[in-house]
Structure 1
Amino acid sequence: MKTITAFMLVLSQMAISHAAWECNEVLGVNHATQIDAGLGLVVATDRSHHSHLLSGSNWYNLPGNNLRHVSVGHAGIWGVDTKSKVHRLQGGTWTNVPGHLRQVDAGGNAFAVGVGNTYNSYCLSNSYTWGLNHLAQYPWTSYHRGLIYHSCGYFGCWAIDSLYRVYFTRQLSQFSCVNPQWTLVNGLPFKMIEVGSDGSVFGVTPTGQVYQRTGINASVPQGLSWVRVPMCVSIRHVSYDLGQLWAVSHSGLILRCINSPIVNPPVVDPQGVVDTLMVVNPPTSTPTEV
């Protein structure tokens, strides 16, 4: 098994080096299922529903268990357990936050967002995430249904619906939660998408391929096109922070990848160099489980 794993990693590194990405396996978490990076911190979950925090080159177990999704960012460290209960790490212990989510993201401008069991999107503004120790109620703002994944960063928020379509909104880049107007970003299907603290966007397709969104800036926050990050292992989850792309393979390996600038990277975009953008509302139908 170790020989096969090492062989696959060598192939992966060869493929990634061709696209100026150099990847190495990060040991310490067995059978990882999900990873999130933000503000220099990295957290991950494994298939036993334990959560872990990377400090330097060592992984440390976070308190408690039964977490299926964790996130770190301006809003702190948040988690969702196997019963969809929401938690925030405070003082070294998990504090329960009223609400039920299947996925949570703490990467927004000090607000938290997530997707509920009924696939509604939810947002908790920074005025509440900054003062959770003193609150008796947690007023999550609910908006559109039909989403399966939700992530926010410097220029705005991205989401995926049940048909693996991609949406973007700039409205949630501010401090408070609003009912956003979503823009449909055509081009490629994705099962998950993550936004870095600097606005970088990476996604994973239903077949386990990784893509980066290019052309993102303050004037064009939704970017221009998708560029593939070649890997020879199938990927289930990614996250990006401080110039490093973190990936979890379907077999549970954690990879840390660093990009070196290249000239004129190949663009993979069936809709052309610039995607067609359409302002829409996500569907209200109940999606199937990913």
Structure 2
Amino acid sequence: MKAVAVFSLFLSCLSLGHGWSCKEAPQQFPAAQIDAGQGKVVLRDIDSRAYFLSGSQWYRLGSVSLKHVSVGVAGIWGVDSDDTVYKYIAGDFVRTTGQSLSQVDAGGVSQIVGVRHNGIYCLEGSAASAFKQVDTLPWSRLPGELTYFSCSPTNTCWGVNSAGSIFYTTLSPTCKKDPWVHVPGNAKMVEVGYDGSVFVVNSSGQVFQRTGISSDTPQGTTWSNIQMCVSVNHLSYDLGHLWIVSKGGIILQCFH
């Protein structure tokens, strides 16, 4: 009954005129975190189980309990409650060594990035793609401090720190980074889509899209609020679809 009540609130949001149309996505209730890339969608529920979306059904990914899962060019990656990093290989998650992470992102050109204790880390694309068995991986530490980090195949990366400040940079598949650019605004998480589109969720559960992104202003110019009538916990964007997880665990699929 709780899921029905929460989704009824979502339905009343669809006529707010924010430029997006939303519909009920296939549900794996209660969801906690979602990630999309290259047409694939994965999620983690509140019981730390990872799932992959096929058609209108969610299917369990492997047997490892995870607190964050991500999908991209270099495959499906995740981290568990002990901050151990895993890659999904041949039907299950295979443990890696070499660096612990609290959040991981596989959305870059081929490199994997993540954070732990405010430190920022990057794994070169060649090492990420070649990994196929339990082994030590050569992570590089990047300058700066972040609590959430996300990259796209356009070489653009965005992050937020413990104070909620937002930053932009570019990062190559070999983990070569340009200087950080501070972007006005405040957020608890940021996600970059396959085409470089940027969305954030703030501490109040509000959603914003970065507008004005171009080759001349890669960091964009303003934030545009995408109004929702319930608080949002997590989101991801890929190929024109914005995937939203509410604080109540309901999943929405939104598009222009």
1:250 to 247, 250, 254: 247
* One-letter amino acid of the structure 2 residue matched with residue 233 of structure 1: V
The aligned residue for residue 76 of structure 1 is 75
* One-letter amino acid of the structure 2 residue matched with residue 127 of structure 1: S
Distance in structure 2 (CA, Å) of the matches to 1:152 and 1:115? 12
Distance in structure 2 (CA, Å) of the matches to 1:71 and 1:87? 10
Distance in structure 1 (CA, Å) of the matches to 2:150 and 2:7? 32
The offset of 1:155, in angstroms, is: 4.1
The offset of 1:6, in angstroms, is: 3.9
Distance in structure 2 (CA, Å) of the matches to 1:70 and 1:134? 18
| 4+ long deviations beyond 4 Å | none
Contact conserved, 2:192 with 2:198, CA < 8 A, in 1?
Answer: yes
* One-letter amino acid of the structure 1 residue matched with residue 201 of structure 2: V
The aligned residue for residue 160 of structure 1 is 160
Find the residue that maps to 2:67 and give its secondary structure: strand
The aligned residue for residue 113 of structure 1 is 113
Aligned pair count?
A: 253
The offset of 1:134, in angstroms, is: 6.9
- For residues 1-290 of structure 1, the aligned pairs below 5 Å read 1=1, 3-15=4-16, 18-98=17-97, 99-116=99-116, 118-133=117-132, 136-153=135-152, 154-170=154-170, 172=171, 174-186=172-184, 188-259=185-256
Find the residue that maps to 1:115 and give its secondary structure: strand
Rg comparison, structure with higher value:
1
The offset of 1:32, in angstroms, is: 0.6
Contact conserved, 2:49 with 2:66, CA < 8 A, in 1?
Answer: yes
* One-letter amino acid of the structure 2 residue matched with residue 133 of structure 1: K
The offset of 1:146, in angstroms, is: 2.9
Distance in structure 2 (CA, Å) of the matches to 1:122 and 1:227? 30
Superposition CA RMSD, Å: 1.5
Contact conserved, 1:169 with 1:180, CA < 8 A, in 2?
Answer: yes
Contact conserved, 1:23 with 1:257, CA < 8 A, in 2?
Answer: yes
Distance in structure 2 (CA, Å) of the matches to 1:110 and 1:194? 16
Distance in structure 2 (CA, Å) of the matches to 1:24 and 1:126? 35
If the length of structure 2 is used for normalisation, what is the TM-score?
A: 0.94
If the length of structure 1 is used for normalisation, what is the TM-score?
A: 0.84
The aligned residue for residue 277 of structure 1 is none
Find the residue that maps to 2:15 and give its secondary structure: helix
* One-letter amino acid of the structure 1 residue matched with residue 83 of structure 2: S
Distance in structure 2 (CA, Å) of the matches to 1:127 and 1:134? 15
Distance in structure 2 (CA, Å) of the matches to 1:68 and 1:230? 27
